[in-house]
Amino acid sequence: MKEYVLIFRMSNNADFRPTPAQMQEVMTSWTNWMGSIAARDKLVNSGNRLGIKEAKTVMSGNVVTDGPYTEVKEFINGYITIRSNSIEEAVEIAKGCPMLNGGGKVEVRGVVTPEDFSG
């Protein structure tokens, strides 16, 4: 099996203010989805959410800018690492992500290992 990272992307919507009931529904959806991946022994790392308020980009010449972009329209919200037999299976797992119900995107990328370069 190979490892894949599911990268969660969202559009920046500063006006979105979910109610406590909506937040509970979202958290339950995430818990259920992640639990289903773990139950199939496909969850390698439950990852982390990534902040957008405290972010800097360091570039060559020691140039430092705020955030990943000057005008953020879409940002990486977080990630998890899964294992699957193929990219197609990883995509099928990603299709169940609750983020897709709120207009988000899930990027599926294979983890590169030393074996990828041998032979």
- Which of 40, 33, 35 has the alpha carbon at shortest distance from 8? 33
Q: Is the pLDDT of residue 101 over 80?
A: yes
Q: Where are the domains of the chain?
A: 2-114
- Average of per-residue pLDDT across 61-66: 85
Cα 86 from Cα 93, distance rounded (Å):
11
> Which strand ranges, in their side-by-side order, compose the sheet holding 43-49?
43-49, 74-84, 2-11, 105-110
Residue 77 Cα distances to 23, 33, 52, 68, 114, angstroms: 16, 17, 8, 12, 28
Entry pTM: 0.81
Q: Which tens digit of pLDDT belongs to each residue from 8-53? A: 988 766 666 778 998 899 899 999 999 999 999 999 999 988 876 7
Q: What is the pLDDT of residue 68?
A: 65
- Average of per-residue pLDDT across 66-70: 64
Domain 2-114 carries which CATH code? 3.30.70.1060
Q: Is the pLDDT of residue 6 over 90?
A: yes
Q: What is the pLDDT of residue 118?
A: 67
57: Cβ–Cβ under 8 A, 6 or more apart, which residues?
Answer: 64, 65, 66, 67, 68
Cα 96 from Cα 89, distance rounded (Å):
12
The structure tokens 């639990």 sit at 35
